[in-house]
Structure 1
């Protein structure tokens, strides 16, 4: 799966992307609300290899996509099927240097359109740490609806955290476009 937006190319990862991706994930702020800690230099290749393997979305396999601006990877998009029929979940991370320029909105908005078009899915959702306000705002900007806020429902990094769920149907996408 590869596609372009006005300013970005979204494509599967390549071996040459390792250093750019390490820059994204070797950052405490970026990883604060993710399920994993920041990447260490010693295991970065092993972690990156998993992204290289995830080149095609299937019921069993996650799709990992690089968000590229001027030949530099500035973001990482992840897509996987949930256990619910025709439902996909998305996740995303972007470099600090990409912040505030609209790249995340452009990439994630284009991603959901591509997913609805190519995979005939019923629903796309995002599950977030409730403290991640920037990610919540991104979901709302692209037309996702906040559907739930769970209190201390998720144990991560030695603490109970709240989580929020955003969802979108194809009809919501059309509303966002108007």
Structure 2
């Protein structure tokens, strides 16, 4: 699967992507709000191989997509089905060195388009740590709405954390698309 945007390619992970992916996940700040600790030289290969094996979205299998910019992996998008019919959850991680360039917005807008238009998904959700302001702003830019604010609902890395649940229906997506400009 290869998905193209104006500046990016979204594709499944390949062996050659290890070093760039390790650079993303070995960063403490990147992993601060994730459910796992930063990758180490001892754990990285096994964790990376999971990303390679997640090459198709199935009811019982997550899909991982590498975000490629100028032949370099700058991000990881992950999608999995929830227990609810035609509903998926999204996750994402990007190399902090490229933040502020709109890459996450561009990649996720395209992925959302594909999920709704090509895979007939009804609803997309994102669950984030409420302290992650960058992720909150990203969800808002994508046109998602806050559907839940859970207080101390998740024990992670030795502390209780709060969760924000964002959601978007297919109808929301259709309303967020700009209509074509009319010729005069």
TM-score per shorter chain, which class?
over 0.9
2:43 is paired with a residue whose SS is helix
Aligned to 2:128: 128
**Alpha-carbon contact 1:25-1:38 (below 8 Å) kept:** yes
Aligned to 2:58: 58
Q: Which has the higher helix share?
A: 1
Rounded to whole Å, the distance in 1 between the matches of 2:112 and 2:13 is 19
1:43 to partner: Cα distance: 1.5
Structure 1 position 141 matched with structure 2 position 141:
yes
1:176 to partner: Cα distance: 2.0
Rounded to whole Å, the distance in 1 between the matches of 2:135 and 2:93 is 9
RMSD: 0.7
Structure 1 position 171 matched with structure 2 position 171:
yes
Rounded to whole Å, the distance in 2 between the matches of 1:75 and 1:51 is 12
Aligned to 1:45: 45
2:36 is paired with a residue whose SS is coil
1:2 to partner: Cα distance: 1.5
Rounded to whole Å, the distance in 1 between the matches of 2:24 and 2:108 is 17
- In the alignment, structure 1 segments of 5+ residues that lack a partner are none
The runs of 4+ residues in structure 1 deviating greater than 4 Å are none
1:19 to partner: Cα distance: 0.2
Aligned to 2:13: 13
Aligned to 2:77: 77
1:52 to partner: Cα distance: 0.2
- In the alignment, structure 2 segments of 5+ residues that lack a partner are 179-184
User: How many aligned residue pairs are there?
Assistant: 178
1:16 is paired with a residue whose SS is helix
